[in-house]
Amino acid sequence: VESLAKKYEEKYKHTGDVASKLTVEEATFREIQ
């Protein structure tokens, strides 16, 4: 159970990183326009 939770936590963290990265890129793109 512990390893499963750890895997899920890492997956969730990675998804959050991707989402925040996209948000930053979108904000930068809007500033350029």
**Mean pLDDT value across residues 27-33:** 86
Delimit the domains of the chain by residue range: 1-33
The whole-model pTM stands at 0.44
pLDDT of residue 23: 92
Q: What is the pLDDT of residues 3-25, one digit of tens each?
A: 988 998 888 888 888 888 889 99
Report whether pLDDT(26) > 90: yes
pLDDT of residue 1: 77
What is the b/e burial string over 6-25, where b = at least 16 CB atoms within 10 angstroms of the residue's CB? eeeeeeeeeeeeeeeeeeee
